[in-house]
Amino acid sequence: MLIRKSPEIPSSEITPRSTFEAFHSNRRRFLAGMGSVGAAAVASSIFSRDAFAATTKLTTVPSKYTVNETVTPEAKAQSYNNFYEFGTDKGDPAKNAHTLRTRPWTVKFEGLVAKPQTADIDSIMKYRPIEDRTYRFRCVEAWSMVIPWNGYSLAEIIKWAQPLSSAKFVQFTSLADYGQMPQLGWSGINPPYVEGLRMDEAMNPLALLTFGSYGETLANQQGAPIRMVVPWKYGFKGAKSIVNIKFVDKMPHTTWNNLSSTEYGFYSNVNPSVDHPRWSQAHERRLDGTGGIFPKTIPTLPFNGYANEVAGMYAGMDLRKNF
């Protein structure tokens, strides 16, 4: 998403992926056929250089917050990623994120809360039923996917954390560990990756605290073991591999806004009528596999199609200024 590449012709769209995707699906079938001990042994030896070993099946419940559109193939969603801590090319996170250690993992809740607390990822995952929520996912680079995410509303854990009434925003901080993220020094971001939401946005039931996709725990390159997905905003609002959730009274700094405030605003609501300074946001390339090598181009919807649920939060705001 940085200045280096035209978003219109990403190199990974031109590179054939069939070899990789065949490998991935064969491998998953192979592991599924083995006992978990055998699978783990294989994962740490022959396949130790890829990041797909660690996903496990989740028990999920249906959700009313779900769209009925053609789902992006899982192999695409897990091989075409933005996770700059593991490299800046779309294919880098899938190649490099195997070094991320997702257990033990804790998330610290702090700032303007009744009492700062640190919670273990496994207890966070058990706190509420994990839902199936198929969402549209729109990257600021004008590509999009339809992904079955698994998680529960961020609002649930916010209520548990008991923010004070003085808390007006929530800041998310991703892991920044040069040991686990050897590419971090070349990422161009000033670590750690930070993102934020206004409190009412964070409390909106659509804002998803996400533990999985496609019915399994997140692949490392998707931001395991815990990330945000905010479907009415550009994809970068969804911080990956979160270690800290902080309640604050002022609009927090966010990584992309720090890097280029004219291109990436705090709100970053999907808005077809406000162009990025270097490209139009009116359309998107839908990466759902139905367009063959050349993804089909479709119009982008205000708030990514979630206007009924979220537009009210921005009533009276100038969305050209607050982009």
Ligand X SMILES: Nc1nc2c(c(=O)[nH]1)N[C@H]1C(S)=C(S)[C@@H](COP(=O)(O)O)O[C@H]1N2
Residues that bind ligand X (CB under 6 A): 1, 81-85, 139, 174, 193, 222-223, 235-236, 238-241
**157 sits near Mo ion (criterion: CB under 5 A):** no
Residue nearest ligand X, Cβ-based: 235
Q: In the block, which residue shows the tokens 């593991």?
A: 86
Contacts for 230 with CB less than 8 Å, ≥ 6 apart = 197, 201, 206, 207, 208, 237, 238
The residue among 80 and 105 lying less far from Mo ion, judged by its C-beta, is 80
Residues 69, 74, 75, CA angle at the centre, nearest 5°? 135
Minimum CB distance to ligand X, residue 196 (Å): 13
Q: Which is nearer to ligand X, 261 or 308 (CB)?
A: 261
Tell me the C-alpha distance between 112 and 169, whole Å.
Answer: 10
* Pattern 79-98, Mo ion, x by CB under 5 A: ---x----------------
How many CA within 13 A on the CB side of residue 250?
Answer: 1
Q: What is the DSSP string of 267-315?
A: S-B--TTS-BTTB--SEEEE-SSTTTTSPEEEEPPGGGGTHHHHGGGGT
Binds 243, which of ligand X, Mo ion, none (CB < 5 to 8 A, cut-off by type)?
A: none
Q: Which stretch binds Mo ion (CB under 5 A): 21-29, 48-56, 74-82, 291-299?
A: 74-82
**In the bound complex, what is the minimum distance in angstroms from residue 10's beta carbon to ligand X?**
12
* Burial tier of 113 (Cβ tally within 10 Å: 0-12, 13-18, 19+): middle
| 3-state secondary structure (DSSP) of residue 1 | coil
Question: Residue 295 binds what, of Mo ion, ligand X, none (CB under 5 to 8 Å, by partner type)?
Answer: none
Q: Does 193 bind Mo ion (CB under 5 A)?
A: no
Contact flag: residue 137 with Mo ion (CB under 5 A): no
Quick one: what does residue 233 bind among Mo ion, ligand X, none, with the CB cut-off 5 to 8 Å set by partner type? Answer: none
Residues of the shown chain interacting with Mo ion in the complex, contacts defined by CB under 5 A:
82, 139-140, 235-236
